[in-house]
Amino acid sequence: MWCALRGWWRGRPGPWTVPGQQRPPGIRALGSTGSGTRDQYSHVVVGAGSAGCVLAGRLTEDPDRRVLLLEAGPKDLYAGSKRLLWKIHMPAALVANLCDDRYNWCYHTEPQAGLDGRVLYWPRGRVWGGSSSLNAMVYVRGHAEDYNRWHREGAAGWDYEHCLPYFRKAQSHELGANKYRGGEGPLHVSRGKTRHPLHRAFLAAAQQAGYPLTEDMNGFQQEGFGWMDMTIHKGQRWSAACAYLHPALSRPNLTAKARAFVSRVLFEGPRAVGVEYTWNGQSHRAYASAEVILSGGAINSPQLLMLSGIGNADDLAGLGIPVVCHLPGVGQNLQDHLEVYVQQACTQPITLHSAQKPWRKVRIGLEWLWGYTGDGATAHLETGGFIRSQPGVPHPDIQFHFLPSQVIDHGRVPTQQEAYQVHVGTMRGTSVGWLKLRSANPRDHPVIQPNYLSTGNDIEDFRRCVRLTREIFAQKALAPFRGKELQPGSHIWSDKEIDAFVRAKADSAYHPSCTCKMGQPSDPAAVVDPQTRVLGVENLRVVDASIMPSVVSGNLNAPTIMMAEKAADIIKGQPALWDKDVPVHKPRTLATQR
């Protein structure tokens, strides 16, 4: 049945082969090999992830633009039915996606000296929707000062006042529009619905520990604890593919190809003219009269630039890759969020542990398939918060995600008992890494070196993360549920012991970024300018999380979608949106932490 459905979908008429519909001039039927013809588009977008889906959707709003979107992974549905790929579209099934190489690049880092030599697993989306089809659906924008910092770091025009309108443009929040929330965008955002007693107890405990509650951590006040926004709509994951790509697929000026592996950008001198890719076992070339746009993410975009001859000239020459442009910043400035899980046994049978039993899984799955309701309709990361780690810190630098369950080894090991946990980590770490090509073979994963916990500041900050979490967990509101501490464990107290725990257990929050840094041409580390154009060449852009000058204080999906919305206006020559003098909360004093 599966093979038949796949064959039906792959064999269905494409946008240029609908009976009675003519192809625009210069575009040949996909897969044809007629002599003297070639695939010609105005724009070729590489990567149908969070940014690429936005670009495909927004650029094809202009009927004069002809866009080819290439994705190395599969489509996120077959035969138009989300039920056939329930693991992607059921919010509660997110852990299954993190371990499934059908939709996942399954990257790994180099051994990390700061983490006892451990190799860390980095899941990244390889499917329509990219990592927005795999992630935990947490919608977090970061703090206003992150974007003001970008502006100071050379990304002119990317301050908060110029980014907020694009967050709003993208969003349709179920609570309605205001000066911070959007109400008419394609990206549906909702609040948690379960109101689980452990979520309520966690928020009460945070308040008892002296932290404020915030009505909207993506609005006026990020600092504090509250209910989190999620990219879930009517009980289903609302990925960038759902929001932007699927509504655009019927347009005659969009061609979207899945399982199309791009191996290099084609150049004529310094000008990008197209890409080379493999599809259905054959090599193809597609040409762009206007621009090639890379939206492969913080790993794939710098990798493809280097494979195409853009990067450190010495490194490229050492691999036998002809140098198109010496741009040493490519692959440098790698930044990620690290986090640890503080876990507590629960004395009442109310966690998600029982949901792991086979009969409960079947029941949850059937309820979701029937009406997109029940425990399958949420990712369960419904509360969280942001705090300042110590006096003098101007805006929050620690993030919490609360989960009424426990996660072990990226979910590859089932929960062991009734327990709850907090994912806690620093938002603006000072450890910076890099990635480089492993070989000239496009199929080889690059060398990924995050350099986690390579600075004393980061080590000290993680001690604070553990101690501040314990303080919240010790409050009266959680007393009815509090069992023994499972992780780090009641025997771990000294700085040395906490440091050892962090080295042994810290893991990526899956937020790689900044490897094609946006900045001014005078910045030797910059890769793209504030218009997202790759420096030193023509007709080539990068639009994805890799162009962040520095990582934001929060999850990356919402900022990446915002960046693509803003870049789409830049590409189309539209005037930049601007919200002047938007109020943002500031602490009354920096002399205290809370």
Active-site positions?
511
- One DSSP character per residue, 367-420 reads HHHHHS-GGGG--S--EEEEE-SSTT-SS--EEEEEESS--BGGGTB---SSEE
The span from the CA of 594 to the CA of 587, in Å, is: 8
| Phi, then psi, of 437 in degrees rounded to 5 | -65, 140
Of residues 398, 257, 274, 416, the one with CA closest to residue 338: 398
436 beta partners: 447
Cα–chain center distance at 518: 18
The span from the CA of 235 to the CA of 91, in Å, is: 7
β-strand pairing of 383-387 with 398-403:
antiparallel
Cβ distance 185 to 170 under 8 Å?
yes
Work out whether the CA dihedral 482, 488, 489, 490 comes out positive or negative. negative
- Token pair 């493809």 is at which residue? 304
**C-alpha distances out from residue 430 to 357, 457, 508, Å:** 42, 7, 15
For 57-127, list the strands marked E by DSSP.
Answer: 67-70, 107-108, 121-122
Cα–Cα–Cα angle for 218, 219, 225, rounded to 5 degrees: 60
Q: For the chain, how many residues are written?
A: 594
Q: How many CA atoms lie within 13 A of 540 on its CB side?
A: 30
**C-alpha distances out from residue 22 to 15, 16, 252, 253, 371, Å:** 10, 7, 9, 11, 40
Cβ distance 478 to 197 under 8 Å?
no
Asked if the bond preceding 488 is cis, omega within 30° of 0, the reply is yes
The span from the CA of 557 to the CA of 59, in Å, is: 20
The span from the CA of 339 to the CA of 398, in Å, is: 10
**C-alpha distances out from residue 315 to 110, 336, 522, Å:** 18, 24, 22
The span from the CA of 330 to the CA of 299, in Å, is: 10
Of residues 387, 462, 419, the one with CA closest to residue 206: 387
The span from the CA of 476 to the CA of 379, in Å, is: 27
